[in-house]
Amino acid sequence: MGFSLNALFSVYKEEKSGGIYNLLGVIAIVVVWVVAGGILEAVIQNYVTRHYGVQDMSYITIIHNVITTGFSLLVVLLGARFLLRHSFGSLGFSAQNLLGHYGKGIVIGLAMFSFCVLVGVFLGTQTVSLNDQSIAWGMWLAFFGLFFVQGLSEEVMFRSFLLPEISARFGLLAGLIGSNILFALFHAGNAGSGTLPVVNMFLFGLVMSILYYYTQSIWVSGAVHSIWNFAEGNIYGISISGHEVSNETLFKSRFSGSEWLTGGAFGLEGGLICSFGLIVAGAVLIYVYRGRRGYGATP
């Protein structure tokens, strides 16, 4: 891929207002997204724990997570639209072929994560078996709803907003590096995190950025992010970036061998197997999309 702004990023840059107002607006959106979102999550979690006595992944905590991530999503969308005066189109939202784009993202995301699982099975560090416990299918589908909002929320912040914002100021390469350093640091405090998990979060963000750059649709990268998490937790039964999984999972995964390979408590995303899978995914996406008419093209 070249390091020039594509059509979508160029539109974003044209809509930017200069000066201190724009910079303060960007800082305000990021601060509210992090601080207010964190406070809201703590308040709701405290209420749930005190009144219901549950801390596991139940319908109540799913609703709590949907509320907090939905709030974070609205902060970025409304801030970018009404504070910074960007159109929703310049943020990668388009009704044209929406279902096709989202379906493409689901296929790509499921293939990406399944490839990482297959590598682990091939190396003998992971075994996968059917879950012999009964599954509450309503809960299982509720998790997909949760990850739909959660994945899209993070993609809008780091791909729709910060990637073109930094790119418009300092160039695409700086945007790719800067936005994904922030994405990696955002996950650095999760359980089981460390140097390799943070590196992998950077790689994951970079792959999502490449996909967003070429498709110019947040629906694609949003779907990849959402189905990646859903597959990890509710299909293969693996910890999601340090978060414990629910019992509502199609398969059970067991790991053996070095945590450098398997990711340990962080989940598969924290190991070298995932590093390899993400590098392969990025290379494949660049190979498939580079040079295709209409993908990543400059105006």
Ranges of each domain in the chain: 89-290
Query: CA triplet 279, 156, 59: central angle to 5 degrees?
Result: 95
- Report the distance separating Cα 82 and Cα 74, nearest Å: 11
CB 222 within 8 A of CB 147: no
Three-class SS of residue 214? helix
Q: Which helix (H) or strand (E) holds 103?
A: helix 98-123
- Report the distance separating Cα 70 and Cα 240, nearest Å: 19
- Report the distance separating Cα 71 and Cα 8, nearest Å: 25
pLDDT means per 10 residues in the chain (299 residues)?
80 85 92 85 72 58 81 94 94 92 98 98 96 88 92 97 95 96 93 92 98 96 97 94 82 93 93 98 93 55
Q: Could you say which DSSP state residue 243 is in?
A: B
Whether this model's pTM surpasses 0.75: yes
pLDDT of residue 299: 36
pLDDT of residue 2: 61
